Structure 1
Amino acid sequence: MEQQVTVIQTDGNSATVRGRRASACGDCAGKASCSTMGSWRERLIDLHVKNTIGAEVGDEVLLEVPDGLLLKVAFRIYALPMLVFVLTGAVVAWLAGQMGWPAQELLAALAALISVPVTYLLLLRGSNSAKADLDVRMLRIVNHGGCHIPIRPV
């Protein structure tokens, strides 16, 4: 997926870009009147990327977002904590049954509930090492601070 954004700051080999956040439904004909997920207001996002093409402040650039990015992020944010939740509950329920502890279901439920924020904390702590998989990259400069450069098909 490609997205056009504006460079708002540069710092050595990196740049901060600002662009319109892509919505789940894209740019359909009913966009102006749609109220799905707050689409009546413009949603901007700032992103730090490697400045591999020498873009300067004010340039509009084309970014490439890896195809698997959405799936990787969705797995890390939704599927992994849910999987840990279910597995923790099952393991604690089994262990409590084997050990003969009272209130086995309560212990399993509490352990499962505690496992969700712990999973998120571990994901946040390890997010720096995972950023390499999720990097977007600059493809080309579309406008040099207001000077339009035509995009040629690749």
Structure 2
Amino acid sequence: MLNSRTPQRAALLIFLVAFATIAGAWIFEYYGYAPCELCLKQRWAYYTGVPLALIVSLIAPRQPGLAKAGLAVLTVLWLGSMVFGIYHSGVEWKWWPGPATCTAQAGFTGGLPDLSKPAVLCDTPAIRIFGLSLAGWNAVISLGLALVALAGLRRAQGSSSVSQ
């Protein structure tokens, strides 16, 4: 599957990996690892990318031009998700400041916090796996998904120029 990455297979691989990733995030949340504000925003790429990748995989054989456009969008989407994951990881490692509303330095300038919800700080990782927080893993997975989309896009461009 990796060597013969047609646009359809690339999109299907993106769908499967992205779906498994967001499902994993939901499982972590179910077992008590509450997401912070930045974690929830990182999920937006998955909520967009999963259905888009499925649609691209379904239309690729019949509409190669549209599939190319979809793979281009997926490439940009996952690169953006990677950058956001790096940003959040940097906040967790205290390399740069995060949003004032969800870091340990958060004050009460905006009023009292909502005490009905657990306080989850963006600069404190809930868990590290092999040294990376979930935000770090999001960056790694997003880079991989962007590379798969780019490879599928390059394959689509190569095959369209040959057939003309």
What TM-score, normalized to structure 1?
Answer: 0.29
What TM-score, normalized to structure 2?
Answer: 0.27
Which gives a bigger RCO, structure 1 or 2 (Cα 8 Å, sep 6+)?
2
Pair member with larger Rg: 1
Greater strand share, 1 or 2?
1
Greater helix share, 1 or 2?
2
